[in-house]
Amino acid sequence: MEITTLQEWLGTDKPLIVSGPCSAESYEQVMQTAIALRKIPEVRIFRSGVWKPRTRPKGFEGVGSEALLWLKDVKKETGLLTAVEVACAQHVEEALNSGIDVVWLGARTVVNPFLVNDICNALKGTDIPVLVKNPLHPDVNLWIGAMERLNDVGITKIVAVHRGFFYYKNTEYRNQPMWEVVIELKRQFPNLPIINDPSHIGGKRSVLLQIAQKAFDLELSGLMVETHINPDEALTDSQQQITPEQLADMLSKIVYRKGFSEDKTDNKMELLRQEIDKLDAELLDILNKRFNIIKEIGVYKKNNNITILQIERWREMFKNRLDIAQNMGYDSAFIKSLINIIHEESIRLQEDIFNDEDI
């Protein structure tokens, strides 16, 4: 991909901070938010959703084209660059006609190469910067694909936005960060600026700083944060929006550990930690499988009047595991206590089965 760097585009290597409301709701809300954001020097781009398709119909779906005029005024009044989400060719045309400076593709659009193609065709011939959110599901190629399509029509000011991924379980966050996907994107395209959207990852205010800090620890290039002059009254995503003052406070708390140096130590450590996380999950999974079999044996013993502890079998097992472990170079004191602790838990599980009157 041919990428125009942030330095070439904005004339600075400082983190790129994009901020503004989830949705434009009224002229006053947009303008007051922008005027307050203007006081934060790090904020370069004012974002605002204009068309807001919701998961279910009948919610607030954005005020539409009218808000493009409000953004024109924002630009005049504050000098901030303005950005809106475009989800079809018509949005692109309207945004371009209204002098919007930057557009972004949302997570629901990036999943659909047909839509991305239509949008690219509408953008052809311009060199407007495009922010590309990650698709809803963690498919790095789909994300890359959207950026390549933009590149194919001549767009080179491309910024990837990490907004987390849909996860089938409820977790602490609204969308899972899955940092490994971001690291893979960074590995393949070292020049591509990637910023982080803690608002859509976190889904709530209390976690924004910790997510943003992590993004900078992985050497990402900036943030997109949703701000609202009165977040509690916001018509969309009110839980995750903060006031411009809270954004200023959050930015002041971020520690820029290594600046944007060439030192990749943090990155390496992150990769290694992810390996550890995976291995621990596998370990727990294997242990769980073992305990499930232990329980089956417990049921068999109970039904056949066999004692829980079979001392000969236990002696043999202990010796056999110790031999294997010693051949692998384990410390024998460590391995003895590990074997014992697993055995104790196995006995406890079988005792539970013996005491269970339903078995």
Tell whether residue 193 is a contact of ligand PEP (CB under 6 A). no
- Answer yes or no whether residue 163 interacts with ligand PEP by CB under 6 A: yes
Q: Which of 120, 195, 212, 111 is nearest to 160 (CA)?
A: 195
Q: Is 237 in the site for Mn ion (CB under 5 A)?
A: yes
Least distance from ligand PEP to the Cβ atom of residue 67, Å = 13
Closest approach, Cβ 49 to Mn ion, in A, equals 6
Amino acid identity, residue 176?
Q
3-state secondary structure (DSSP) of residue 229:
coil
The listed partner (Mn ion, ligand PEP, none) that binds 157, CB under 5 to 8 Å by sort, is none
* CB neighbour burial string for 213-250, b if at least 16 within 10 angstroms, e if fewer: bbbbbbbbbbbbbbbbbebeebbbbeebbbbbebbbeb
Binding mask 28-67 for ligand PEP (x = CB under 6 A): ---------------------x------------------
Kindly tell me which residue out of 107, 131, 223, 339 binds ligand PEP, with binding defined by CB under 6 A: 107
Closer CB to Mn ion, 49 or 298, in the complex: 49
CB of 308: closest distance to Mn ion in angstroms?
A: 56
Q: Identify any residues that bridge with 85 across adjacent strands, giving them in sequence order.
A: 104
Q: How far is the CB of 237 from Mn ion (least distance, A)?
A: 4
Residue 216 beta carbon to Mn ion: minimum distance, rounded to whole angstroms: 22
* Partner residues linked to 130 by β-bridges: 103, 158
Which of 106/244 has CB closer to ligand PEP? 106
CB of 64 to ligand PEP, least distance (A): 15
133 binds, among ligand PEP, Mn ion, none (CB under 5 to 8 A by kind): ligand PEP
d(CA 136, CA 256): 29
Q: Which is nearer to ligand PEP, 108 or 336 (CB)?
A: 108
Under the criterion CB under 6 A, does residue 162 sit at the interface with ligand PEP? Answer: no
Are the beta carbons of 104 and 161 closer than 8 angstroms? yes
d(CA 234, CA 65): 19
Give 121's contacts (C-beta < 8 A, 6+ positions apart). 89, 153
Tokens 């991909």 correspond to 1
Q: Which of 22, 136, 223, 247 binds Mn ion (CB under 5 A)?
A: 22
Binding partner at 106 among Mn ion, ligand PEP, none, C-beta below 5 to 8 Å by kind = ligand PEP
Pick from 199, 163, 160, 203: which is nearest to 16 by CA? 160
Phi, psi of 150 (to 5 degrees): -65, -45
The binder of 24, among ligand PEP, Mn ion, none, by C-beta within 5 to 8 A per type, is: none
Please return the burial class of 322, using the count of CB atoms within 10 Å of its CB with bins 0-12, 13-18 and 19+.
middle
Q: Which is nearer to ligand PEP, 157 or 163 (CB)?
A: 163
What span, in angstroms and rounded, lies between the C-alpha atoms of 281 and 243? 39
Q: How many residues bind ligand PEP (CB under 6 A)?
A: 8
Asked if 57 contacts 13 with a C-beta cutoff of 8 angstroms, the reply is: no
Angle at Cα 114 formed by Cα 110 and Cα 117, nearest 5°? 80
Maximum alpha-carbon separation in the chain: 86
From 106, 135, 138, 203, residue interacting with ligand PEP (rule: CB under 6 A): 106
Shortest distance (Å) from residue 108 CB to ligand PEP = 6
- Of the chain, the end-to-end C-alpha distance in Å amounts to 63
Establish if 22 lies at the interface with ligand PEP (CB under 6 A). Answer: yes
Number of residues that bind Mn ion (CB under 5 A): 2
Q: Residue 107 touches which of ligand PEP, Mn ion, none (CB < 5 to 8 A by kind)?
A: ligand PEP
State which residue, 53 or 145, has the beta carbon closest to Mn ion: 53
Q: Output the smallest distance, CB 234 to Mn ion, in A.
A: 9
Q: SS3 of 325, please?
A: helix
Binding site for ligand PEP (CB under 6 A): 22, 49, 106-108, 133, 163, 200
Binding site for Mn ion (CB under 5 A): 22, 237
